[in-house]
Structure 1
């Protein structure tokens, strides 16, 4: 019985760890904060950036391909896996957050195995 409990707990923890990087908000600093969703993306994907309480904030990051428009930005297709700062300017306030870029999936990881 104890082995089943330990196995179930281990499986639950592994599943929770696999889900965590794919969801969530970016961390933020400053009054009010900045939210980047999803917090982890792959090169070429889009993110939603919101600054609660600040309509029309200017949002930028070195990993974005161009400027964020209407709260949406595209990560550069050649972005290197890393964590990048996201900065929003709202009037005289400067708010920061971050977005994590994960590596691309390799073709063998995408295709089903025939074992």
Structure 2
């Protein structure tokens, strides 16, 4: 019986790992904007990778009403990257993000969720928890 419950828990962990977002792509409007994590929580830092956005003479930046402030897009080679902080007061939903790469302007949607990740390990298998 214990072997069966261990197998079920193992399958649940593997399944959750396959479903958990690690890095996501933006909407079809701009496949060149990648958020990590793909679903952010209020108060969380988000890395934004912008493909084909090299550093140029003009300032490259990213902005959204869900960020605490606009951020500069820094680049290496042909791509750029920015780090932003999601406001703690943001409610769950999809929010528009605008990226300015010189004269090129990209838009994407960042998903924000207030829900915590569910625990997939039952307390009977967690040491010290009853």
| TM-score (norm. length: structure 1) | 0.67
Cα deviation, residue 104, structure 1? 4.2
- Provide runs of 4+ in structure 1 moved above 4 Å: 112-115
How many Å separate the matches in 2 of 1:93 and 1:101?
A: 25
The higher radius of gyration belongs to: 2
Candidates 61, 66, 88, aligned match of 1:63: 66
| TM-score (norm. length: structure 2) | 0.60
Answering whether residue 15 of structure 2 is matched by residue 15 of structure 1, we say yes
Candidates 95, 109, 124, aligned match of 1:84: 95
Distance 1:65 1:22, change over 3 A: same
| Number of aligned residues | 101
Answering whether residue 29 of structure 2 is matched by residue 26 of structure 1, we say no
RMSD (Å), alpha carbons: 3.2
Name the structure with the higher strand share.
2
- Contact 2:64/2:97 (<8 A) preserved: yes
